[in-house]
């Protein structure tokens, strides 16, 4: 909800799902430009959702930014392996989430997807 309010304020159209299963269905149906994916979710966790999106040629190219409380390096590596282009550790500043989405999309357009992926270990939004 926090993200939705701030993203909408930035002029970004937002679709929301409460759990992994609904999220997967929504993404497959709507094919969004970018997915902000929480890791700890009921039913299917964020890792599994990312795995299934990567396995499907239709959704493989959709960039994923993980939003998670898991700050460990092993978790970031897993995010990288699963094709994430961004990794945002909670708590983060939701006011800047719109700028982040714009920046990621612009860089992907400029062919910097790999550079984003390799930079996944860096925090994209500073902690308070």
Smallest distance from the beta carbon of 10 to other proteins, in angstroms?
9
Is position 40 an interface residue for other proteins (rule: CB under 8 A)?
yes
- Contact partners, residue 22, CB within 8 Å, separation at least 6: none
Question: In angstroms, what CA-CA distances link 120 with 8, 35, 87?
Answer: 25, 15, 6
CB atoms under 10 Å from CB of 89, counted, come to 19
Least gap, CB of 38 to other proteins (angstroms): 9
* 31 or 71: CB nearest other proteins: 71
The end-to-end CA distance of the chain, in Å, is 19
77 scored as a contact of other proteins (CB under 8 A):
no
d(CA 48, CA 38): 11
Task: Give yes or no for residue 79 binding other proteins (CB under 8 A).
Answer: no
Shortest Cβ 13–other proteins spacing (Å): 16
**Phi and psi angles of residue 94, each rounded to the nearest 5 degrees, phi first:** -70, -15
Decide: is 121 part of the binding site for other proteins (CB under 8 A).
Answer: no
Q: Does 93 bind other proteins (CB under 8 A)?
A: yes
What residues make contact with other proteins under the rule CB under 8 A?
Answer: 1-2, 5-6, 9, 19-20, 40-43, 45, 47-48, 69-72, 89-95, 128
């Amino acid at each position: 909800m926090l993200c939705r309010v701030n993203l909408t304020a930035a002029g970004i159209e937002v679709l929301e799902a409460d759990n992994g299963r609904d999220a997967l269905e929504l993404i497959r149906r709507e094919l969004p430009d970018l997915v902000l994916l929480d890791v700890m979710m009921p039913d299917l966790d964020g890792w599994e959702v990312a795995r299934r999106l990567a396995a499907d040629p239709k959704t493989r190219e959709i960039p994923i930014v993980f939003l998670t409380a898991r700050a460990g390096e092993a978790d970031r590596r897993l995010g990288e392996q699963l094709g994430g282009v961004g990794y945002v550790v909670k708590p983060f500043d939701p006011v800047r989430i719109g700028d982040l989405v714009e920046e990621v999309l612009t860089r992907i357009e400029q062919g910097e997807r790999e550079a984003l992926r390799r930079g996944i270990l860096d925090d994209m939004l500073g902690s308070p």
